[in-house]
Amino acid sequence: MAGRAGAMVVADVGTGEILAAHELKLAGHRLARPGSTVKPFVLMKLLEAGRVNASERLQCQRPLLIGGVRMDCAHPASVTDLNAEEAIAYSCNSYFAEAATRMSGMELVQALRKAGFDSPSGLAKDEASGRIEMPRSRDDLQLEALGDRGIEVTALELLGAYRKLALSRRNGASGGAGVDATVFAGLEESVAYGMAHAAHVEGMKLAGKTGTAASRESVRTHGFFVGYAPAEKPEIVMVVYLERGNGGDAAGVARGVFEVFAAAAATATGRGR
């Protein structure tokens, strides 16, 4: 984080203990639009309700204009249609904008609240609470499902939400099929080859998601990365928030921590032989 404005927090998946932090107070109090980091939770709701089939492929439409806001995808233009896993990996705005119209505003709000995006994570003292609005129109619904309008969260709330995902993954909630498996696979693919590839570390499978959004005050974007490692049996969960930049930048910062963790894990494994 040297020379970068923002925050980073690393926590133990099992206990929730904060292992390392940079600007913890900022992480617990600064409210910001989460961008695409909300997409896994939107997808889980859609899959659980049977509104989307994991294998169903949706076309990526460009340009994508929602309520006067340009929301074109950042993934390669060669990716023209995606299933649910790929939509997470490539963070396809078009996929989620279309899929979100299959749910009501109340269902979306319930999914975001279930994730903990409007309540303190409990990971630190005196945290602020996020804000979730009830969508008033189709455009509002789509933009909120993309994390670009109608919702603001703290970095710690994001960390808490992904810690729950990591716990579910570690406890074997998904053995290879079902709603959770689709989301977990998408998060792993996001780091392996998708929009969070900047966090990739050789020799360890990771899972994570990026998010980029403009602030309410200006068009300048901020970036998030949230993820956990190792992907198959998570031990740590991390959030990076950059006040200026994008999700890819945040994933690049996260890579340094993952490299240290992977090296320590390899050393420990070698000692255990």
First to last CA, the chain: 35
Q: What is the CA radius of gyration of the chain?
A: 17
> HEC states along 33-45?
CCHHHHHHHHHHH
pLDDT for position 83 = 97
Give the pLDDT of the chain (273 residues) as one tens digit per residue.
888 999 999 999 999 999 999 999 999 999 999 999 999 999 999 999 999 999 999 999 999 999 999 999 999 999 999 999 999 999 999 999 999 999 999 999 999 999 999 999 999 889 999 999 999 999 999 999 999 999 999 999 999 999 999 999 998 854 445 779 999 999 999 999 999 999 999 999 999 999 999 987 777 899 999 999 999 999 999 999 999 999 999 999 999 999 999 999 888 766 555
Whole-angstrom CA distances from 47 to 67, 78, 106, 180 are 26, 26, 16, 9
pLDDT for position 47 = 96
Q: What domains does the chain contain, in order, with CATH numbers?
A: 6-272 (3.40.710.10)
pLDDT for position 270 = 65
pLDDT for position 59 = 96
